[in-house]
Copies of this chain bind each other. A is one copy, B any other.
Amino acid sequence: MTTEQNRLNPEKLTPTDRSQIKRLPQRGEYDRQVIYQILDEGLICHVGFEANGQPFVIPTAYGRIGDRLYIHGSPASRMLRTLKKGIEVCVTVTLLDGLVLARSAFHHSMNYRSVVVFGTATWVESEAEKGEALKAFTEHIIPGRWDEVRQPTPQEVAGTLVLSLPLTEASAKIRSGPPIDDEADYALPVWAGELPLKFMALSPIPDPRLTLDVPIPGHVENYGRSM
């Protein structure tokens, strides 16, 4: 089984029938490092699952610890209750890097990096793993925050449903670089190139109820500087 091979191979995932990039295979990547970097840079994943014959795609936050992806929410969440049963799930993270502006309408494209993960989720019941996952969620969206905020109470931990998904069956798809035009079109007097897009933090907005004289911490002030 290829997923079994993937558990044993730390560097590169072996594509399975569902994780293999079939359209434009030259854009496919199976290196764990490439896949994990995309997962670590993203903030939102889109979780796909079926319930009552209907596909759902729900955006949610996530975290990664080693070879596992974690999602969480209220125990009342329909998505989490459905996934907890162990049904097949597909989790996709997409980073849009820019617009690809060709000389012809037909060759317009986008530069992007995406990861698609297949598998079944496991309910995280261990207190220790759950604690690590909760820390990972906070540190994923804003590194350095966990140690500066109030830690979860036992009631809050109990009131959070955490699921984990093994990163054994996954692939990345990447497009980068300039447009690829038809040879004849390069002679056209049309501007062509890339318009890079970047997700950037604006100035922090203090909570109106922040009455104490608390300075903006470095992890907020410098957010994304290394992104």
Which chain A residues numbered 189 to 212 have a C-beta less than 8 Å away from chain B?
189-212
Q: Among the interface residues A104, A149, A187, which one has the most CB atoms of the partner chain B within 10 A?
A: A149
Verify if A35 is at the interface (C-beta below 8 Å from B): no
Which B residues touch A32, using CB under 8 A? Answer: none
Instruction: Find chain B residues with CB under 8 A from A78 CB.
Output: 22-23
Contact A92 B59 (CB under 8 A): yes
Q: Report, as a range, how many residues of chain A touch the other chain.
A: 35 or more
Interface pair B189/A196, CB less than 8 Å apart: no
Interchain CB contact under 8 A, B105 and A138: yes
Report A40 CB to chain B, min CB distance, Å. Answer: 16
Tell which of B44, B134, B193, B215 touches A205, judged by Cβ atoms closer than 8 Å: B193
Does more than half of chain A's interface fall in helix, strand or loop, or is it mixed?
mixed
A residues sitting closer than 8 Å to B (CB atoms) are 18, 22-23, 43-44, 46-50, 53-59, 61, 73-74, 76-78, 88-92, 94, 96, 99, 101-106, 108, 110, 112, 114, 116, 118, 134-135, 137-138, 141-142, 145-146, 148-153, 156, 160, 178-179, 181, 185-212, 214-217, 220, 223
Give 30 A-B contacts (CB < 8 Å), ordered by A residue. A22-B78, A23-B77, A43-B99, A44-B110, A46-B48, A48-B57, A55-B88, A55-B89, A56-B90, A57-B91, A99-B223, A103-B149, A104-B151, A105-B149, A105-B151, A105-B152, A106-B153, A148-B191, A150-B188, A150-B190, A178-B207, A190-B214, A191-B206, A191-B214, A193-B205, A193-B207, A193-B220, A195-B202, A195-B223, A197-B202
